[in-house]
């Protein structure tokens, strides 16, 4: 069977999605235009619109790519051991992944516009993938998986709000025991 040659559009789509991840993580959904993404990708806005149809679909493609990267990182963690040890290894892998903050911020921005039906659906689908992955690969019970996801969200809060940089009793309470990227 002959190999399939990618069309220009097939080849450019991942590049545009990568540019969308960067642009949307900087400006959020409301503060980023298709033109911003096109500029980041080094192509025309018309071409981005031709491939994605609009800003909402472009944001969803970026959000889906975010969850693809998270899942690939968790798979690569090669976690073995008790459920708690596996979840701990997955958490460490995730903390390393979000050190550049692009994937972290796209999730935070998606949460802020989850009332847009298609974006909310994509966010929930991505979260479902990660919850199911953690459950299946760790063998942990539901409460342990819930705690794992909750700690991840607390890590998001600590990093995005700069709580980890505050030297005060309340910030130490929130960040004690969390592994998260530092500045």
pLDDT of 103-148, one tens digit each?
Answer: 999 999 999 999 999 999 999 999 999 999 999 999 999 999 999 9
Least confident of 20-34, 44-58, 164-178: 164-178
Cα(56)–Cα(60) distance, integer angstroms: 6
Residue 181 domain-assigned? no
Residue 68 belongs to a domain with what CATH number?
1.10.357.10
Domain count, the chain: 1
pLDDT of 34-85, one tens digit each?
Answer: 999 999 999 999 999 999 999 999 999 999 999 999 999 999 887 789 999 9
State which residues form the domain around 55. Answer: 8-175
Residues 6 or more apart whose Cβ sits within 8 Å of residue 146: none
Cα(20)–Cα(46) distance, integer angstroms: 15
Residue 182 domain-assigned? no
**pLDDT higher than 90, residue 25:** yes
Residue 111 domain-assigned? yes
Burial 111-142, CB ≥16 within 10 A → b, else e? eeeeeeeebeebbeebbebbeebbbebbebee
**Owner of token pair 């890590």:** 155
């Amino acid at each position: 069977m002959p190999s399939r040659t990618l069309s220009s559009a097939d080849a450019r789509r991942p590049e545009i999605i990568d540019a969308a991840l960067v642009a949307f993580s900087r400006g959020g959904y409301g503060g980023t235009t298709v033109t911003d993404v096109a500029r980041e990708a080094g192509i025309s806005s018309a071409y981005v619109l031709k491939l994605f149809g609009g800003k909402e679909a472009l944001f969803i493609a970026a959000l889906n790519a975010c969850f693809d990267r998270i899942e690939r990182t968790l798979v690569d963690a090669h976690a073995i051991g008790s459920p708690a040890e596996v979840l701990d290894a997955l958490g460490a892998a995730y903390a390393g992944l979000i050190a550049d903050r692009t994937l972290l911020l796209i999730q935070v921005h998606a949460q802020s516009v989850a009332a847009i039906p298609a974006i909310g659906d994509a966010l929930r689908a991505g979260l479902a993938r990660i919850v199911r992955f953690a459950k299946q690969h760790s063998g942990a019970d539901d409460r342990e998986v819930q705690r794992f996801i909750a700690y991840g969200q607390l890590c998001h809060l600590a990093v995005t709000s700069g709580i980890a940089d505050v030297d005060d009793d309340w910030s130490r309470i929130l960040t004690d025991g969390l592994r998260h990227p530092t500045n």
